[in-house]
Amino acid sequence: MKVKVLGCSGGIGGSHLRTTSILVDHDVLVDAGTGVADLSLNELARIDHVFLTHSHLDHIASLPLLIDSVSDLRDKPLTVYATAATLEIISQHIFNWVIWPDFSVIPSREKASMTYRPLAIGQAVRLGERTITALPAEHTVPAVGYQLDSGAGSLVFTGDTTVNDAFWPVVNRIANLRYLLIETAFPNREQSLAEISKHLCPTMLASELRKLTRVPEVYVSHLKPGQIDLTMAEIATSFGDAAPKMLRNNQIFEF
């Protein structure tokens, strides 16, 4: 399994700042933030599956444009996986003919360009030799994280989440866990905002990672533009030599 980070920032504002999207091999996206827009038309047309963590704009911004750009280049629908609640949100508020056409009925219900597949927490989807499983997340809207399992190894992406005791027992049971991508959106001075918006800051991150009994490589995502250096410095202070690394645009994991 080859995983490429198309975007992992909490905002935009430069060539390396793209919001959350992860390309798995050539045909799967986990989230569809602004990083998707850097793919070529041919690369976009090869995407068959999109797994959404939640409905916030920085995680879905490119989805409407993606399906619009390639619908005439495909001979089967793009499948969008998410919780039933998330699918209902994007159906009502994005693909509603007001913000964007409803591609789940274009050109017809029988031959739609896009189809929805609801996922429950703990449910796994098998795609060839790959298994993608929805994991618990705690955010201001219904949300999940994902385990990407190649058989030889697993990568876990938390999605947007805050303190989440339901998450760690699941992760600690993943015997082949190699990588953990975990969000930390705010520096410590904005801990109250992190708590209200159900994100993490370095102090909260340190508390959460003490619940991890596995020893994967840990990378931090969703850093806010303009606060990256401060937040990473606070993470370094909290963890010392064992500090998680900063996730970067175009980073590749193979397992």
Distance in angstroms between the alpha carbons of the first and the last residue of the chain: 5
Query: Residues 52-109: pLDDT tens digits?
Result: 999 999 999 999 999 999 999 999 999 999 999 999 999 999 999 999 999 999 999 9
Per-residue pLDDT tens for 95-151?
999 999 999 999 999 999 999 999 999 999 999 999 999 999 999 999 999 999 999
Closest by Cα among 7, 87, 76, 2 to 45: 76
Which single residue is written with the structure tokens 């949300």?
Answer: 143
At 231, which helix (H) or strand (E)? helix 228-239
Label residue 209 by pLDDT band (50, 70, 90): very high
**Alpha carbons 134 and 154: distance in angstroms, whole number:** 13
Q: How far is CA 139 from CA 18, 19, 194, 200, in A?
A: 21, 17, 11, 10
In this prediction the pTM is 0.97
- Write out the E strands in the chain: 2-7, 21-24, 28-30, 49-51, 78-82, 114-118, 124-127, 130-136, 144-149, 154-157, 177-183, 217-221, 245-246, 252-254
Asked if 38 contacts 18 with a C-beta cutoff of 8 angstroms, the reply is yes
Domains of the chain: 2-254 (3.60.15.10)
Q: Render 60-82 in DSSP notation, one character per residue.
A: HTTHHHHHHHHGGG-SSPEEEEE
Could you read off the pLDDT of 23-39 as tens digits, one per residue? 999 999 999 999 999 99
